[in-house]
Amino acid sequence: MRAATSVILTFLFLFLRTPLIFGDQTPLTLIYTSNTLGEVESCGCPETGDSGGLGRRSYYIDTVRKEVKTLLILDGGDALAIGLPGSEAEREKARKRSEIVLKIYEKMEYDALNIGDTDMVLGINYLKTLEESSKIPFLSANLLDKKTETPFFQPYLIKMVDGTRIGIIGLLTPDIHPFIQKELKSYFIEDPIKAALETINRYLADCDQIIALAHLNPSEIESLAKKIPQISIIIGGNDRSFIFPKNIHRSIYVQTDAFGLTVGRLNLRMVKGAREFVDVSPMRMQEGPAVKESKWLDAEGKNTYENFLTLLHSEMGFDPEIEKMISSSREQLKRPLP
């Protein structure tokens, strides 16, 4: 009798610790970042201490890569440029700096970078040249060439994950600094809602899920989610603050803070044909396993997500190859003067 009871208790323990999986689900882990603003190491700010750095980010990504079957790594914008340079000579330094930063992102195997407004201080033509020599596509569906009225960069990307089509679109806010407006002589920024609708309806209509890399203001993100319900996940970034994931209409909105202090991770399980996403992130300990399992039961037949926002603190490991790249390029990585 005692043995039978022990077996039953062991079964219940394992059952309550294991997420319930329903139907034909496709797992995908999404790493997301934004607003790194060209930082490669800790900014050394008094408020943040010794947090951040691309060496630690790479170490974290490698750790996740060993855990999961499928990994997608995306940036919401402003990955490359550190700020507004004060002269043409300083802008040239910023360009050389961005080349090294991009090589580090290639080493981390990013799938796509969205064009942010600060990135454009490097020069839009220069960004295009940078992309052409890179393994990573730069996305922007609404930065258009004035002559052709077509996107100057690749507007979207499609990734196949175990038979599931994932569409990724890049968007940029028209609300940009006057200094950056000078870069738009031969280009213009179309309304992001209009550009997103046109791109999705024309190229991404058959995608199972759509991710928007949205370098937009919060009000623009609200409108994007409301007017385009096909978008599953919005990775924001323009206001440079982190966002705990929240549902806006049927979209999940996530965002990391500025200067690369944190890195975001979404563990997704996607059900074919399902539109709604349910948050099944780890519950507080005091709520107990029964509440946790009830949350999983509520997710039957729906897509699910778990979100983790990780601070890249001073006790973390780091990628020695990235640190070597940084150390050997100290002169080129000096910050350009404002």
Q: pLDDT (tens digit, 0 to 9) for every residue of the chain, 338 residues total?
A: 444 444 333 333 333 333 444 457 899 999 999 999 999 998 666 656 789 999 999 999 999 999 999 999 999 999 999 877 778 888 899 999 999 999 999 999 999 999 999 999 999 999 999 999 999 999 999 999 999 999 999 999 999 999 999 999 999 999 998 888 888 999 999 999 999 999 999 999 999 999 999 999 999 999 999 999 999 999 998 776 777 788 888 899 999 988 899 999 999 999 988 888 889 887 544 455 544 555 555 677 889 999 999 999 989 999 999 999 999 998 888 877 66
Q: How far apart are CA 175 and CA 169, in angstroms?
A: 19
Query: Tokens at residue 153, please?
Result: 């960069």
Record: fold of 25-327: Purple Acid Phosphatase; chain A, domain 2 (3.60.21)
Q: State the pairing for strand pair 164-172/209-215.
A: parallel
Neighbours of 125 (CB within 10 A): 12
CA distance 103 to 122: 16
How far is it between the farthest Cα atoms of the chain?
83
CA separation for the pair 143, 195 (Å, rounded): 9
pLDDT of residue 11: 36
pLDDT of residue 9: 37
pLDDT for res 283: 54
Predicted pLDDT at 244:
79
- For the chain, the structural domain boundaries read 25-327
